[in-house]
Amino acid sequence: MNCTFTYPERINRQVNSLQKTFWLRKDGFYYKDVETVSEYSGRVKNICDENKCTLRITNLRETDSTVYRFGFITNKSSYSGRPGVTLSVTDLQVKVSRPYKALLFQCLSGLSSQTSYIWFRNGHQIEHQTLYYYYPPEQLLQTDSYSCALSGHEKCPSPPVYAPKLPSVSVSPSAEIVEGSSVTLTCSSDANPAPEYTWYNMNGHELSKESELVFSSVQSSDSGRYYCKAKNDLGERTSGYVKVEVKYAPKLPSVSVSPSAEIVEGSSVTLTCSSDANPAATFKWYKRNQTSKYLGEGAQLVFSSIKSSDSGEFSCKAENDLGKPTYKWISIDVKYAPQFPSVSVSPSAEIVEGSSVTLNCSSDANPAANYTWYKENGPLNLNPSNAGAQLVLSSVNSSASGEYYCEAENTLGRRTSKHISINVKWGGKSVAVAGTITVVLLVIVFLSVLVWIRQKRASNEPSEAEERQEHTEQGQPEEQEDLQYASIHFSKTQEPLYSNTRPARPPRRTEQQDVTEYAAVKFTRNSTAMRTRSKEPEEDPAALYSTVNKS
């Protein structure tokens, strides 16, 4: 682009001398000095000879299309040409297509199709001078490039077209990736025409058709390897793998118990804790009591010989530098044989014949023990209501006395208790009192009957007393057939009460007199005259005696 200019040599009689010339390009609403624009670096040159200046642009580009103005500065003022000159650049380029599976190159210049063209492959001229150039796809190499130029302008070829180069991939941010943050994977490849991109995971599943693969909130499950493909009509290339490693706090731990079958006291038991975490989690063990008891650190908690007291709930705590720690509780139930049984008796005081007695047996065992009762050397034949930890003896008698013990048994073993003695006392005092009351009542009834009989006889035999008097006067002893004794015996073995009635005899003192009791009842008969014996007092014929013997 050329420009000529003039300016006054003097202004107000003062010399007006040229200081600088320049070219401006329009950029939006503003004009910029082309020599200060980076896009023109090394491509523009302003050449001036007196009042004629030329702007030379080499390696012309389509982006160079715009309005240009010339300007200069003197010691008195500055000037710029208007309206300027418009430069329109048509980009010479190669269009690639694949009609009918053939590879077709077309040189686009915006000029008449009658123009002669020159084709280049890998920078070397091809003996072909038409608008189109066909090439078998199977002969195309990944490194081949193609360009075209107008005849006579061989030194200004179009930009070459070529298949994608090996794509490069990048991860942003490049620092540590924490779960929940945003992560972008970018794929780029040098290719013309511009390639299409596809992202895949390491399993070959397609994830995106863009040059960027974005995780707005990356998860631990997104950790892994990724790759991309760049493809245009001249070919495709696959990138290498890029690794995404997401850091995250421990997930909820899982706890396993070995052996997984029934845990028996004395066996070896191992608890193992695991948790998905990055970086790897550390583990701490606790046992739930009133307050959690710290047991140790490590992925495993080992009981070389587990005890019944080890039963309970255990917690595994997983933690790393990220986030809050997580916990998992597991319950351990240790099975064991019955411990030594203890036996108690109720009531604990004196056991009296006829009362009820309860024996209780208890033993610590897991699973719960079954109980069997024994007396001396053999098991008891118990009703279902008496079977179990409690033995109830109702209305005991002396035969219930003896030694009792129980046996506790579960699937892991059995243990026998100590012997406990039961001694049933005879309830003599209470029985004697009841018996005495019964005897008194019987005696009263019996004596009442005898009185009634005597009165009956007295009314039927009025002369009987006189005849007895005559016999007495003759010196014959009087028969004591009217004197009766009642004898009642008691047995310690609670035998039935019985009574004997016999003609009364004068009581004799015997060796057992201290246990014989007498009851005398006198009766007075209505008679016209009272008779007395001549020498010694006459026994009252109406006297009755009752004896109570205790054997």
User: Which residues 6+ apart lie within 8 Å of 515 measured at CB?
Assistant: 549, 550
Give the total residue count for the chain. 551
| The pLDDT of residue 460 | 61
| The pLDDT of residue 510 | 36
Over range 533-542, report the average pLDDT. Answer: 42
If pLDDT is split at 50, 70 and 90, which confidence band does 32 have?
confident
| Residues 263/294, Cβ–Cβ less than 8 Å | no
User: pLDDT at residue 523 above 80?
Assistant: no
What confidence tens digit (pLDDT) does each residue in 174-191 have? Answer: 889 999 999 999 999 999
| Both tokens assigned to 484 | 């009766």
A 10 A CB-CB count for 348 gives 7
Q: Which residue has the higher pLDDT, 530 or 219?
A: 219
Q: Which residue has the higher pLDDT, 126 or 470?
A: 126
User: pLDDT at residue 271 above 80?
Assistant: yes
What confidence tens digit (pLDDT) does each residue in 68-88 have? Answer: 988 888 888 888 888 888 887
| Cα-only R_g, the chain | 67
| Both tokens assigned to 220 | 């631990």
User: pLDDT at residue 35 above 80?
Assistant: yes
Closest by Cα among 328, 333, 326, 298 to 312: 333
pTM above 0.75, yes or no: no
DSSP assignment of 453-502 equals: HHHHHHHH-TTHHHHHHHHHHTTPPPP-TT-EEEEEEE-TT-PPPEEEEE
Closest by Cα among 244, 224, 170, 237 to 197: 237
**Amino acid identity of 154?**
E
Over range 441-466, report the average pLDDT. Answer: 70
Residue written as token pair 């016209």? 528
What does pLDDT average to over the chain? Answer: 79
Domains of the chain in start order, with CATH, are: 2-87 (2.60.40.10), 93-162 (2.60.40.10), 168-247 (2.60.40.10), 256-335 (2.60.40.10), 342-426 (2.60.40.10), 430-468+480-550 (no CATH)
What confidence tens digit (pLDDT) does each residue in 275-296 have? Answer: 999 999 999 999 988 678 899 9
Over range 207-224, report the average pLDDT. Answer: 94
| The pLDDT of residue 367 | 93
What confidence tens digit (pLDDT) does each residue in 102-161 have? Answer: 888 888 876 655 678 888 989 888 877 787 887 777 788 888 999 988 887 788 788 899
If pLDDT is split at 50, 70 and 90, which confidence band does 30 have?
confident
Q: How far apart (Å, rounded) are the C-alpha atoms in residues 455 and 3?
A: 185
A 10 A CB-CB count for 544 gives 22
Over range 358-384, report the average pLDDT. Answer: 83
| The pLDDT of residue 485 | 45
User: pLDDT at residue 254 above 90?
Assistant: yes
| Both tokens assigned to 66 | 């715009």
| Both tokens assigned to 28 | 């939006």
